[in-house]
Structures are given as structure tokens and as C-alpha cells.
Structure 1
Amino acid sequence: MALYPELFRLPVRVRQLLLGLSIAIIVAASMRPGKAGGTPPWTLDFTLNLGHQFLYGFFTLCALLRLHPRAPLHRQTWIAMLGLVFVMGVLDEWNQSRVGERGVGFFDVISDCLGCFHILVLTRWFSEPRRLGPSLRLMAGLAVLGLGWNLFLVESGTDIPIPFLD
């Protein structure tokens, strides 16, 4: 049994509500004011940075659920979703540049796109019936990629500024 198409058994209203909820969560997180007085503790910084991947991954899944069950199998869907998340990520950073004490950087946009990429890979994979072993290896690989990127972000402490937002 393919897992992803089974999600389309959810009523259309529920899928619409989930998409609206995902957008509302992103907007609320973007409007959250920062804390003055230096950098947050390592664990908080790690968690907040990882949140980019989860929030935009959740948005991607909800947006895909408004499309066709076979949408993740098409290259156009991948291009459109990654483009949409990139634009949303830049707008999120622009909004954060207007909110007090918030950092703005290009690596956050990359984290947003990485969350989208994770969901695109998983929905494509689970659009067909799959065995458990390869599925677990794929999910472990994606987890290592996401956590590794996040660890790099937190440990490097640097970011590429977005020129028109400085």
C-alpha cells in the first residue's frame, strides 16, 4: 500500500484547514520578536534553526495535499514548490528584518528549502508501495542531512546576508 495517496482520504475541508494552519504558523513564527542581549543558548539556537525545516516541510506537505496524489512524481511540482518556498523564505526574512532583534540571513532560506526538499523526497518515495528497510534508510539519510545542515549553521555562527535586507 502506498502511504502518501492514503492522505487524500482526508476530507478536502481538513486539507484546506491544514494548509491554512501551516501558513498561520509560519506567519506567527515570523512575527515573533527576538530577544535582546546576545545569542541564545546552543540548544535553543539549534531548535529554532531546525524549526525552519519542520515549518516549511509541513507547509509543503499541506500544499501538496491540495494538489493531485501523483503531484510529487512530476518535476514541475518540485520546481514550483521549491520556488514557492524560496520566495516565502525570502519574504519571511524580509519580515524578520522589520521585527526587532531578529537575525536575517540566506542560510535560513536554504533551511526552508531543505524542509521542502525533505517532504518532496518522502512524498515521492511513499507515492508507491515500499518495503520497510529501504524506507528507513531513506528517512535516516534525510535526518542526517537535515541535522547535519543544522549543526553546521549553529556551529559556524555565520550567515550570508541578503543584500536588499541589510
Structure 2
Amino acid sequence: MMPTGGPRPPSVERKLGCTLEELCRGCKKEVKFTRDIVTDNGLIVCKEETQTIWIKPGWKKGTKITFEGKGDERPGSYPADIVFVISEKEHPNFKRVGNDLVLKAEVPLVNALTGWSFSFCLPTGEKMSCSFQDEIIYPLCKRTVPHSKNSVLSAL
């Protein structure tokens, strides 16, 4: 059934959970969702759809991706838009604060007093090494490690 030009219904929002790795590297996601469609005889039926979404590197929680006319249909009006809102899944090692990545690390007391080195993998897959040999690490101190994207390391 063709719309008669009535008002467009409100957008339909859906959460799209992404890992920190997916948000840092970018990825392709195939998202399945259901929507109401109007049949030729005016009945409303539920239809399963699949939409491809390309996650771009650097996207954050709250980023919105809109597909016009892909939401629910109602007789006599245009189809609603569907909006996917990025949510960030909890990461076991990192926490994102603005554009920074925070990594909490437990440092044994002897290493905190005499020097400390460690390696870890960033969500991009890149391996990173840090060395704090000429300074004392104290509880709750923070060290910024220079990188193309700043990473803040918190030592406990």
C-alpha cells in the first residue's frame, strides 16, 4: 500500500553493542531486526530484515546510524526511519574515557620502588611496551604513555 503523505512516524531506535576492538579497528556488522510492514491488502505483518552496518574506526558510544524508511510502516504514512545507536561493551582490560584508554595495572611493591616494565596489546591489536625505570610508582598514580591516540595507564 502506498503512503498518502501523512506525517512520518517517529524513528525506531535499536542498540548496537560493539566491542572496544570493533570500535578501534572498524568492522562490518550484519544486524537482524524485525519491523512492521503494510501488505498490499492493508494488513500489518512483522518481517525480519538484515542490515549491513560498517563500523568506522574511532566511533564511540552514542554514535547514531540512520536508515531512512527502514523502520515500521503504518497505513497511510511513510515508513519510519530506523536508528542504530552504538553502545560499547565492557572490556576486560581497558576503559574508555573520552579519547583516552585507561588500563589499570597492579604493580608489585618491589617493582613500584625499583622500576617496572610491562607489555600489553591495544584494542587495535598493536603490542605496546612501557618502562618506568627511573621513577617510583605510588598507589593510584597515573602515567600517560605517548601514542598516536593517548593511552592513560593507572597503576594501583
Which TM-score tier does this pair reach, normalised by the shorter chain?
under 0.3
Q: Which has the larger radius of gyration?
A: 2
Q: Which has the higher strand share?
A: 2
TM-score by length of 2: 0.28
Q: Which has the higher helix share?
A: 1
TM-score by length of 1: 0.27
